[in-house]
Structure 1
Amino acid sequence: MVEYLPQPRTLLTGLAMVESARWHDGRLWFAHWGAGEVIATDMDGNAEVMAAGPAMMGWSIDWLPDGRLVTTGPEVTRQEPDGSLVTHCEQGGNEIALDPRGHLYVNGFDFDFLGGGAPEPGWINLVAADGSYRQVADGIEFPNGMVVTPDGSTLVVAESFAGRLSAFDIRDDGALTGRRVWAQGLGPDGICVDAESAIWTQTADTAAHTGDPDAPAGACVRVLDGGEITHRVETELPCFAVTLGGPEGRHLFLLCNEFEGVEQLQAVQARRSARILVTEVPVPRAD
């Protein structure tokens, strides 16, 4: 039986478009699309701009093992201790993830999504410390959120166009092998993993996916390896990204945006209707 989480409360409003949720250094960080900002907020909604981001859609954030912020986009950039931004890797991408050994993964695709280009399968690159990179996976049906399980053994990627989560074994050298389906029949975008290696992801039984006006605008579920769903939460706007954090790691942050198709993105951003919600979960984030 699926358990419903407590009704989320609003943490932050008045945002253009929000994505790439991360809990870092005691605060929630996220990519503020349409404003070109990396923002951090505390549990009371006190927000602060921490860095500049690309003036575009489709970018995300994470941190190198030494604590430097990295941002995707046309290239991967990193923020130096003095606040300056430098190129970390000439090949950018969409989403980003690091494993416990410091392997840096960036995924992306090579067609013009916003311009209506014909879809092509995407890829995952492994980026070395010197900025060089090599492709470690391909054939990804619109790669989106990525996470690594707490033991560092498995990388899971959201394939939005295929409605599934796909898993790879991580070798010692960072190579990805043993591709398999983690869960199917979803609507995955920005995802997160908890201490028990369960993944919070978006579902496909929402109004945007089904065309049913009575369906929820947004819904996220906790799904186990193999597809079993244990928990669920619904939102009044579509949810684009989730992460776990808070003082004890038991808060689920839901980054929600209006969505009326890519042709309406500028109008949606201008309305500043995006919001961040938060609720409580039984299983905390992975350390």
Structure 2
Amino acid sequence: MKKILITGANGQLGSELKVLAEKYPEYEWIYTDREELDLCNLTKLETELDDINPQIIINCAAHTAVDRAESELELSDILNHKCVEILAKWSAANGCQFIHVSTDYVFDGTSAIALTEEAAVNPINVYGKTKLAGENACLENNPDAIVIRTSWVYSSYGANFVKTMSRLMQERDALSIVNDQIGSPTYAADLAQAIMVILTSSNWKPGIYNFSNEGEISWYEFALAIQEIGGFKCGISGIPSSAYPTPATRPAYSLLDKSKIKNVYEVAVPYYKDSLKKCMQLLNNVT
């Protein structure tokens, strides 16, 4: 029985993989978060991997607080880059399949067309820079690894835009949402499913793949969809990024082209509103 190690198991993607694991009893699942496997302790990481001895690693762990990363450069570099290098080296040396999750923030946002895996990278914030360093370390140290870039992740688990908006729309009469950052959201359950399609395929093709839901929208349009599905009465207006300054600059355009993952693995990519409805139905059941 192959052993799958999930890092960052309490995050959005890790939590969705836990749910999905019930459909894959042929694997032994090992879930770790910082308590079980401290990725910041670089000196002990190799030994701990030896002890677990997985045949597959799915690295969902990251320093994803984009604004905090600007002032937490060292922590961001350890979690998004240096530990990835060790995971990649260990998996290469031990014949272990390695899937590493990355981000659309490796791009600078100047494109006007959906970004393929070959598009030029040029991150404009610390989070993006450390994630790009992690991608490079991953593929340099384990050329047989798979990197999946994703964007605007949300889930019924953890903290995210969908849950925050759903709450604020019930608490406030009006909200202003940035309308000049364009991309597509990703329901973490869909990404988890895509990962399992890759793992259960007999066709392991290393390299970088993009995955997000279908649709080209702004955060403002995303908020409108949340409002519509939730039936919230809150007024929503669009504002430029300049009216909502943040420590980290975000790319203005980071829509991912999903052609490669569809062609190589026949991964189904749902439309963003269909997945958003599923997630919000789960949230309504919870609340």
| TM-score normalised over the length of structure 1 | 0.28
The structure where helix makes up a greater share of residues is 2
More strand by percentage: 1
TM-score, with normalisation over the residues of structure 2? 0.28
Higher relative contact order (CA 8 A, sep 6+): 2
Structure with larger Rg: 2
